[in-house]
Structure 1
Amino acid sequence: MVERLWPVVSEESPQQAASGSVFAEPLPEGRPPRQVLENLWLFAPNRDTLGGSAWWLETPEWEGCAGLLIDCPGLNQANLAFLRERGPGRLVLTSRDGHGRTRRFQEELQWPVSLQEQEAYLLPTVDGLEPFSSEQSLAPGYSLRWTPGPTPGSAVLLADRAFNGAPLLFCGRLLSPVASGEARPLRTRRSFHWSRWLRSLEALGDWLPRSTPVALASGAGLGALRGEALIADVQQQLQALDWAALEGQEPV
């Protein structure tokens, strides 16, 4: 069992969870996600997750699971219709910053929810939670890894053949786009533990395959990529980090 590293803070108040009043308003129409690859879609930034980006990855070779929803997109009619058409699927949460309206999505879709065990207790009213500890293989070619730092339960998902037959890493806010083709760890006042974050990145570099480049799909704001959605080589991004300079980085 991994030691709990975060105080108990629910995404909903007990009163809201009991009454469901937080969802009493009619859903906005919204707009569906845009297709990035043949098997990959990117949702519009979600204000419920501080402008975070959610993804839909098709998994045709995974029997019983049509795809993975990585973090929560905005709760609207277009997104729900898109997901209903493509299910059954699974929701994978990369951190508490990606929880958004997890309870409502799970109620609507009845999909299981994978997340790191540090943050499962933040969703006490959500059915279908499947927490993991350090690492977990969801299915052949789909692996989760605990990467604490941005939040105690931050995690990444590695899909071995998702990027045109090559690996693709969904990293949540572990790495944020800072310019076209570039991503870095960005410390904020909400960050959990900066030194632990940097250790997670060092360990991630050892965990990723070395025989082929791994593309990166960040869950942070993607505006810095100037219209692009993915970064081609995460190993290159990690090798370019100045660890000594990062140690002294102040929160932004």
Structure 2
Amino acid sequence: MPEEDSGERTLEAGRPPTPVLPGLWVFAPNRDSLGGTSWLLAPPGQAPLLIDVPAFTAANLAALSGAAAGMILLTSREGHGRCRRWQEALGWPVLLQEQEAYLLPGVAGLCPFGDGLDLGGGVRVLWTPGTTPGACVVHAAGDPDVLFCGRLLVPTAPGKARPLRTARTFHWGRQGRSLEALVRWLPPGSPRWIASGAGLGALQGEKLIDGGRTLLDGLLDRP
């Protein structure tokens, strides 16, 4: 049965986020974000970081309302979904690249950034325009060493992902240059894991891509 949302409308029940690694959860595909994927990074002792917003469902609301105060980070305009409702429900600040801040007028707690951001605890953000003007990626260093690539890389098969040019791509050339900049920005040998913000169906049940650095280096070596 749907549950009431503050007496105003009913909420879809939905499915709660799924744990994939210690301190990391993945949400079900979100039709409000064209089937995109959201992630919750919450290592012990660190504030939770919600990377793109999931569907606004009763299960997701219960899971996130029970978390410590955290932050929302949007990797591109494709991941905005129902950002306003999530911000109102959680009261968390919303981090996004300044090129796309205008798309969320009136949303409280907006924190635009420029070329990048250091969130502490080994978590850094890099502006990677191409898929959209304000696209960015997030790297969590150390353990588990995950790159949250937004839609810069789209899964194409189990263990595989690559840039895909679509009708919604902002600038294909800049997307390629952003991929090159990303590899220079990452620590040597990182990341181990890649977590895409696109749909994960091509991974055939897997959620993460292992061997992330090898995959990235292989993409740059292509003619």
In structure 2, C-alpha distance between the alignment counterparts of 1:99 and 1:185, rounded to whole Å? 20
Cα shift at 1:214: 3.0
SS of the equivalent of 1:91 reads strand
Amino acid at match of 1:120: A
* TM-score of the superposed pair, with normalisation by structure 2: 0.92
- Say whether residues 1:187 and 2:165 are aligned partners: yes
1:95-110 matches, cutoff 5 A: 95-110=76-91
Q: Distance in 2 between matches of 1:244 and 1:40?
A: 31
Contact (CA 8 Å) 2:131, 2:169: kept in 1 or not?
A: yes
The answer (yes or no) to whether the contact 1:57–1:68 under 8 Å persists in 2 is yes
Aligned to 1:31: 15
Matched, 1:84 2:68: no
User: Aligned to 1:60, what secondary structure does the other structure show?
Assistant: coil
Encode CA deviations 1:80-136: one digit per residue, 9 max, x unaligned.
Answer: 000011131110100000000000000000001111010111001210011110011
Structure 1 match to 2:186: 208
Residues in 1 aligned to 2:100 and 2:166: alpha-carbon distance in whole angstroms? 19
Q: Which runs of 5+ in 2 are unaligned?
A: 1-6
State the match for 1:228 in structure 2. 206
Alignment-mate amino acid for residue 64 of structure 2: L
Give the AA of the match of 1:202: E
Structure-2 separation of matches of 1:40 and 1:170: 11
When normalised by structure 1's length, the TM-score is 0.82
**Would the alpha carbon gap of residues 235 and 212 (structure 1) be closer, same or farther in structure 2, given more than 3 Å must change?**
closer
Alignment: residue pair count = 217
**What is the deviation of 1:232?**
1.3
Structure 1 unmatched ranges of 5 or more: 1-22, 246-252
Please, which of 197, 218, 223 is the counterpart of residue 240 of structure 1? 218
RMSD: 1.6
Which is richer in strand? 2
Given that 1:59 and 1:68 are in contact with CA atoms closer than 8 Å, whether structure 2 keeps it comes out as no
Q: CA deviation at 1:233?
A: 2.3
Q: Aligned with 2:147: secondary structure?
A: strand
- Distance 1:120-1:234 versus aligned 2 partners, 3 A rule: same
Q: 1:166 to 1:59 in 2, by over 3 A?
A: closer
**CA distance in 2: counterparts of 1:230 and 1:101, whole angstroms:** 24
Matched, 1:47 2:24: no
Residue 71 (1) aligns with residue 52 (2): yes
* Partner AA of 1:99 in structure 2: H
